[in-house]
Amino acid sequence: MPRVRPRRLRESPAMRRLVSETRLHPAELVLPIFVREGVSAPVPIASMPGVVQHSLESLPEAVADAAAAGVGGVMLFGVPEQRDARGSGATDPDGILNVATRVAVEASAGRLLVQTDLCLDEFTDHGHCGVLDDRGHVDNDSTLVRYSAMALEQARSGSELLGLSGMMDGQVAAVREALDDQDFTDVAILAYSAKYASAFYGPFRDAVESTLEGDRRSYQLDPGNRREGLREAMIDIEEGADIVMVKPAGSYLDVLADVAAASEVPVWAYQVSGEYAMIEAAAAHGWIDRKRAVIESVRGIRRAGADVVLTYWATELAGWIRNGDLA
């Protein structure tokens, strides 16, 4: 008869709870929120069941609900009515993202962290994350000028954490310098350091009504490259990033573990739209247990090393956690 019986620690719910190695807490979740210009009510996103494009009128309730559930923060994305080659709406004080930021800050009343996506893809008519040169290629250094201007406008609007998601070389250093020069030294930077050119972004592009033609492989990471993800994170930390990110989460847990093991700053991960949509679609067909799959997927990301997870289930999952309903 075996003397060593690991099953003893799995025998009852109370025992399993007591010896659990990876716990979930609402404060370790961030809710991405889309805010659409020119609508008066939420607009459902067909490829992301349960997720909507919020109006400025519905945004306060979404923020308040997240805060009441104990969610740590909200990440805002703007969906403008008009776009142009330089993404002018991104730096317009009255542009949808900057207005939404002010609305969210008021609604949050300090109960959670209001964060903003800093990228041009939602605002350009070509759908790329930067400005284009005469050859139609993304111009890295000209884009940094636009990012710096975006950063200042978002900071003025009240964003406490800027999510640099464009994957331009030198973006952290450029934005940090711009913020510091204008005395926004307390505004933090989240660098989307290891952001891969993934197929799992498809539903997100529906959510922001992306006009992209082609792909972003010249600036997002090759899905086959593991070491490069860690290298990018280390560069961003050296440039002054306060937090680094791995995106997507589920298919890049090895990269996430690498970054978490090496990083001296917090490491976050984004459970992206395609990951959300796959679970929702399978659950809708009765092929998987939705609740268990949601919990397991987020717990797996935390287990791999993420300090915080951006997930579209943040408010719902936080409610389950607060109610002790993770069985």
Q: Are residues 248 and 165 in contact, defined by beta-carbon separation less than 8 angstroms? A: no
Q: Which amino acid is at 252?
A: Y
Q: Which amino acid is at 265?
A: V
Give the separation between CA 13 and CA 202, rounded to whole angstroms.
38
User: What is the H or E stretch that residue 229 is in?
Assistant: helix 227-239
CA distances from 269 to 24, 150, 304, 308 (A): 14, 23, 10, 7
Which residue spans within 103-216 are E strands per DSSP? 113-118, 161-164, 188-195
- Whether the bond into 266 is cis, omega within 30 of 0: no
Residue with tokens 């891969």: 196
Closest CA to 294 of 277, 278, 310, 279: 279
Out of 195, 216, 299, 302, which one is annotated catalytic? 195
Give the separation between CA 270 and CA 245, rounded to whole angstroms.
7
Concerning whether 247 is annotated as a catalytic residue, the answer is: yes
Give the separation between CA 29 and CA 322, rounded to whole angstroms.
13
Tell me phi and psi for residue 43, to 5 degrees. Answer: -115, 115
Q: Are residues 56 and 99 in contact, defined by beta-carbon separation less than 8 angstroms? A: yes
Out of 83, 176, 247, 299, which one is annotated catalytic? 247
Catalytic residues: 195, 247
